[in-house]
Amino acid sequence: MILFRDQCYLPATCDVAESEPIQSEGVLGVDLGVVNLAVDSDGTMYSGKPINNVRFRHRRLRAKLQKKASRSAKRLLKKLSGKEARFAKNVNHTISKQVITLRVAQGTRRAIALENLSGIRQRVTVRRDQRAGLHTRSGSFFQLRAFLQYKAQLAGVTVIPIDPRNTSRTCPQCGCVDKRNRPSQSQFSCVPCGYSGFADHIAARNIASRAAVNPPNVAHAEAKAVAVFVAPTELRSSAVTSHPLQAGV
């Protein structure tokens, strides 16, 4: 029995059988980001605007309530606690379900290649006004990646981790790696050959090509116990992105 926020939760486990491994006939690369949560090598984009808007609104509201510090303000702060995280979790669930069940497992029978973002908090430096969002955003990367991995495992899809270095600076046409190839966040323009396009899409293509060159020898494990919590039903917030997302885990 677990007591959390004056509510009792009963931990329960169940055995979930994995699907038979799908024979991969290609690789779908997925680039994770902040402006766009995910962009795949087919060009499908999942915008991060809804989550970023909610984070900005909640951050501004928390600062206002904390400054006021009245009893009613503290009650509202307690009520808002966790709402932002639940919204982001719902969006990550719908994106991962869209990618795995519709675009990979049931569609093109491809493996999925993801960037290995371990240590991103130590490697990435940001401006002072962006420091507050660094940990929540990098945490969102790991959550989306984790959802993609476990949904892929249940569907029998192979997940290939890829070194993220220079994926957004490498030209898929001539292979040139140059910092100047990325003049802005959204634009890619190769300096030597002039090849240009949407930066996140090109990064996803580079991720897919790296996985296709060095496919891993992955052995699927036996069915594992997945922990679930029997708890009161929560209201799920819907997200509107540049790509239509179907609600549901």
Query: Which tens digits make up the pLDDT trace of 9-50?
Result: 888 888 877 778 888 888 999 998 888 899 999 889 998 888
Grouping H, G, I as helix, E, B as strand and the rest as coil, residue 79 is helix
Largest CA distance in the chain: 63
Task: Tell whether pTM > 0.85.
Answer: no
Question: What are 87's two structure tokens?
Answer: 């919204």
pLDDT of residue 29: 92
| CA separation for the pair 57, 51 (Å, rounded) | 10
pLDDT of residue 206: 94
Encode 106-127: b = buried (16+ Cβ within 10 Å), e = exposed: eeeebbbbbbebeebeeeeeee
If we measure between CA atoms, which residue out of 30, 23, 7 comes closest to residue 162?
A: 30
- 97 residue type, one letter: K
Whether 239 shows a pLDDT value over 80: the answer reads: no
Angle at 83 between CA 81 and CA 87, to 5 degrees: 155
**Percent residues over pLDDT 70 in the chain:** 76
Out of 18-22, 126-130, 150-154, 230-234, least confident range? 230-234
Whether 72 shows a pLDDT value over 90: the answer reads: yes
| CA separation for the pair 95, 97 (Å, rounded) | 5
The pLDDT tens digits for 177-215 are: 999 999 998 899 999 999 999 999 999 999 999 987 766
Cα 241 → chain centroid: 14
